[in-house]
Amino acid sequence: MTKRSLHPRSLAAQAMGKIDPLTKAVVPPIHVSTTYIRDEDNAYSSGFIYGRPDNETVHEAQAVLAMLEEAKAGALLFGSGMAAATAVFQALSPGDHVVASKVMYWALRAWLLTEATRWGLKIDFVETDDLAKLKDAVKPGVTKLIWAETPSNPLWTITDIAAAAEIAHAAGAKLAVDSTCASPVHTRPLTLGADIVMHAATKVLNGHSDVVAGALCAREDDAFWARVKTVRKMQGGILGPFEAYLLMRGMRTLHLRQERQSASAMALAERLSAHPLVSRVLYPGLPQHPGHDIAARQMQGGFGYMLSIQVGGGEQAAVATAARVELYKRATSLGGVESLIEHRASIEGAGSPCPPDLLRLSTGIEDVEDLYADLDQALSAGHR
Give me the pLDDT at residue 51, please.
86
Confidence band of 4 (pLDDT split at 50, 70, 90): low
Domains (ranges, CATH) in the chain?
Answer: 3-251 (3.40.640.10), 256-383 (3.90.1150.10)
The average confidence (pLDDT) of the chain is 95
Give me the pLDDT at residue 366, please.
98
> What percentage of the chain reaches a pLDDT higher than 70?
98
Catalytic residue among 96, 160, 178, 374: 178
Q: Is the pLDDT of residue 1 over 80?
A: no
Catalytic residue among 105, 245, 283, 328: 105
> What percentage of the chain reaches a pLDDT higher than 90?
86
The tens digit of pLDDT for each residue in 262-295 reads: 999 999 999 999 999 999 999 999 999 999 999 9
Does the predicted TM-score (pTM) go above 0.85? Answer: yes
Closest CA to 147 of 174, 110, 167: 174
Least confident range of 1-15, 184-198, 276-290:
1-15
Mean pLDDT of all residues in 27-35:
91
Please say if 52 is a catalytic residue. yes
For the sheet with 340-342, list strands across it: 278-282, 306-311, 358-362, 340-342, 329-330
Least confident range of 31-45, 182-196, 299-313, 369-383:
31-45
Q: Is the pLDDT of residue 19 over 90?
A: no
Least confident range of 20-34, 220-234, 235-249:
20-34
Please say if 229 is a catalytic residue. no
Catalytic residue among 203, 232, 249, 257: 203
H-assigned helices in 173-307 = 183-186, 223-235, 241-251, 254-273, 292-298
Mean pLDDT of all residues in 155-165:
98
Q: Is the pLDDT of residue 53 over 80?
A: yes
Please say if 203 is a catalytic residue. yes
Give me the pLDDT at residue 20, please.
85
Confidence band of 48 (pLDDT split at 50, 70, 90): confident
Closest CA to 353 of 76, 113, 143, 46: 113
DSSP 132-183: HHHHHH--TTTEEEEEEESSPTTT-----HHHHHHHHHHTT-EEEEE-TTTH
Catalytic residue among 52, 135, 227, 329: 52
Q: Is the pLDDT of residue 362 over 90?
A: yes
Give me the pLDDT at residue 46, please.
86
E strand or H helix that includes residue 196? strand 196-199
Residues in contact with 224: Cβ distance below 8 Å, sequence separation at least 6, in sequence order: 91, 174, 195
Give the span between the Cα atoms of 151 and 304, in whole angstroms.
9
Mean pLDDT of all residues in 172-180:
98
The tens digit of pLDDT for each residue in 338-359 reads: 999 999 999 888 778 899 999 9
Q: Is the pLDDT of residue 237 over 50?
A: yes
Give me the pLDDT at residue 3, please.
59
C-alpha 29: how far from chain center: 26
